[in-house]
A and B are shown apart, each in its own frame.
Chain A
Amino acid sequence: MSTATRKEQKSSRPERGGVATFVEAIRQGLWEEMERDPSVFIIGEDVGVYGGAFKVTDGLLAEFGEERVIDTPISEAAIVGAACGAALMGMRPVAEFQFIDFISPAFDMLTNYAAKCRYRWGAGLPTVFRGPCGAGVHAGPFHSVNAEAFFLNTAGLKIVEPSTAYDAKGLIKAAISDPDPVLYFEHKKLYRLPRLREALPEDDYIVPIGKARTAREGRDLSIVTFGAQVLNALDAAEELEKEGLDVEVIDLRTIAPMDKEAVLASVKKTNRVLILHEAARTGGVGGEIAATIAEEAFEWLDAPVVRVAAIDTPVPYSPPLEEYHLPQLKDVLEAARKLAAY
């Protein structure tokens, strides 16, 4: 599933900064936070000796010991519940789901316990729930899901999903420092993507939760997206530039609470907006963004808001089926051209 494209740093402290892949950036962030704050710990399935299914936590056991890198039974509800309990005691757990598909067995603990604790009795839970999401790797209906919309309607959960190595590190550090529960989704296609390798700052930094970034400036139309689809959007923008279309790409980075101001500012600038996400279309995050734009920037629109997303099916296994299911570059191009011509 994941093919390491070069020898990764293993079992030793990653250098602060330096050139890092997406997965190394997350690991750097975890490592630095665990060094900085003894209350930070890792809990999940196969996160210790094995270093996690995608090796995100590789080396942490050797460095921090099994008291702070805890292998659990196959019990997602127990992982989330125990993380919440430890957080009540003042710890800062980072819980891993082996695949984000396995967040559903913990849905109750997340939406009823973690999300409502502060609201019910003022007990904030500084917890991070992270794991690999996303399709496009032929992993079938149970190892490919994008879960953000499952949780968007639950008050009390922050949701982030980075698309660059810089943001991956900055957001995991921000999530660990946050006083409330944060769902941190990592698209598994990005982990070792050579294109995302970049030199990270040597200095300590975070990427604030709740702030979008402009991944590409443009005047003619905006693509609002997040996660791996940012790359799809950037590829489309490059293609469309050849056709004389100047496309802006907004990378939300945080899905909840959403940076409405950034979205609305871009809409007011380009007056045409395409929302792109990898999860299924119906009930997806795109609907929420479209509704917000309709309510708050209706007069600024020169065309209807358009959504490009997966079709309303589970993620199929066979490559041609999965390709049809997922939003492809050609789908983005086609929608953008129609939108520009409207």
Chain B
Amino acid sequence: MKNGTQRKSSSGGKGKSARETTKKVEMAEGVAVEEWRDGVPSVDPLNEAGELVCTSETTLTNEQMLELYRYLQMTRLVEERLVNLYRQTKVVGGVFRSLGQEATAVGTAYALAPQDFIAPLIRDLGAVLVKGIRPREIFAQYMAKAWGPSEGRDLNIHFGNLEKGFIGPISHLGDMIPVMTGIALGARMQKRDVVTVAYIGDGGMSTGAFHEGLNFAAVQRLPVIIIAEYNWYAYSTPTSKQTAVRHLAEKAAGYGIPGHIVDGNDVVACYEVTKRAVEWARGGGGACIIEAKTYRRKGHAEHDDQRYLPEGELARWERRDPVERYERHLLSGGFATREQLEAILSDVRREIEEDSAWAESSPMPDPEKAAYGVFDNSIVPPAFRPKVLER
């Protein structure tokens, strides 16, 4: 990917080695795998002051760039509010953060058309928000409230909204790949113009369902885009214990589909690469993998003390924080003023305040509601607890 003001920021040289010619991943952008070291590109986009910013080559309008900022901040602040609610014991289950990964979810989802479908994972709250799900739904869901989209039956982002093109995940990683393949298959039969995006991580890609789903999508040339988030850990297990490949995008070769690598902490780059993939998929190109190099800065969930992290790793990634980076990008690139960003931020804060209050005001579900909805209850009655020893 070309960048206007790019400079070398690390020692990774670009000299052609013998290894490069023998071990090069097929990628539309022609990015050789040697250009990535420890999840960081050898060349980072920097501003005039030498600070890390985002890629300057973009088709985004100024208005869109501000909207991206809004979604990044909303993702981070919704999660921060969830942590507060968790500490107040108002969240019934766990809280799963995407801190440090927000740009991947927001940037990729922002490249989709309204009719397209996503299946995010737990660290893709940003994609859910971009698809039009309101913070209030997320808060009510986490607090197991009656007004939540699953009315207290399931957790966090485990729900869906067919009108908005959001198919919630289940806990079993990989299962959404076959489902999203089916969404694309059904849409093709209905002659609907639909691209599907399934999010997965370095851990989830080890599952059988991932393989089966992607292989089938590739065989059928279905427009299924895999966003493969290399975030270094699956719970506590490092990627080196999940897979022998150095880059998740290399796996694309096994399916006969293209793979791309993008800096997952660069929201503009995430948007641009996904936009091209969506156009390609929409035009009949079929499935592909986009690997987003990012880093999970919090543990698996709030309870996880991250004792498995090597010294200094977290600090290194804090310096690549995607939200601060984008803010710098907007300001130093002249895309926004600080006042504009402040206005967006206060608007997001107000919305979170209102939505959080709304969700807190929701009642808990009526216990008997547990019996409803296993089947269509106009055909099969609710599964009430049967009366025993009554004649």
Q: Which residues of A line the B interface, CB within 8 A? A: 39, 41, 67-68, 70, 72-73, 75-91, 93, 105, 108-109, 112-113, 116, 118-124, 155-156, 158, 178-180, 210, 257, 295
Contacts and interface: CB of A to CB of B under 8 A. Distances in A.
Given A87-B186, A91-B190, A156-B374, A121 B154 contact: yes
Given A77-B208, A120-B158, A155-B383, A68 B182 contact: no
Interface stretch (B106-114, B212-220, B343-351): B212-220
A46 to B, nearest CB: 15
Given A72-B216, A78-B178, A88-B179, 11 more contacts: A67-B188, A76-B212, A81-B175, A82-B181, A82-B182, A85-B185, A85-B186, A86-B185, A91-B190, A119-B153, A210-B380
B216 A82 contact: yes
A73 B215 contact: yes
A67 B188 CA distance: 9
B197 to A, nearest CB: 13
Contacts of A295: 388-389
Interface string B205-225: 000110011011001100000
Nearest to B377: A118
B298 to A, nearest CB: 26
B182 A119 contact: no
Contacts of A116: 170
Contacts of B383: 155
Contacts of B186: 85-91
Contacts of B376: 118, 124, 179-180
Contacts of A91: 186, 189-190
A338 B189 CA distance: 58
Most chain A Cβ neighbours within 10 Å, of B167, B178, B376, B379: B178
Given A81-B175, A85-B184, A180 B153 contact: no
Q: Say which size band chain B's interface belongs to.
A: 35 or more
A113 B176 CA distance: 9
Nearest to A158: B375
Contacts of A119: 153, 373-374
* Interface core residue of B171, B186, B389 (most chain A CB under 10 Å): B186
A85 B383 CA distance: 26
Nearest to B220: A70
B179 A122 contact: no
Nearest to B187: A89
Nearest to A156: B374
Nearest to A209: B379
B373 A122 contact: yes
Contacts of A76: 212
Residue among A72, A79, A82, A180 with max Cβ neighbours from chain B (10 Å): A82
Nearest to A115: B374
Contacts of B82: none
A77 to B, nearest CB: 5
Sorted nearest first, the 10 A-B pairs with minimum C-beta distance are A85-B182, A81-B178, A89-B186, A86-B186, A82-B182, A78-B212, A75-B212, A85-B183, A78-B216, A85-B179
Contacts of A88: 160, 162, 167, 179, 182-183, 186
20 contacts: A70-B220, A73-B219, A75-B212, A77-B175, A77-B208, A78-B178, A81-B178, A81-B179, A87-B186, A89-B186, A112-B171, A113-B175, A118-B374, A119-B374, A120-B154, A120-B168, A121-B149, A121-B160, A156-B375, A180-B376
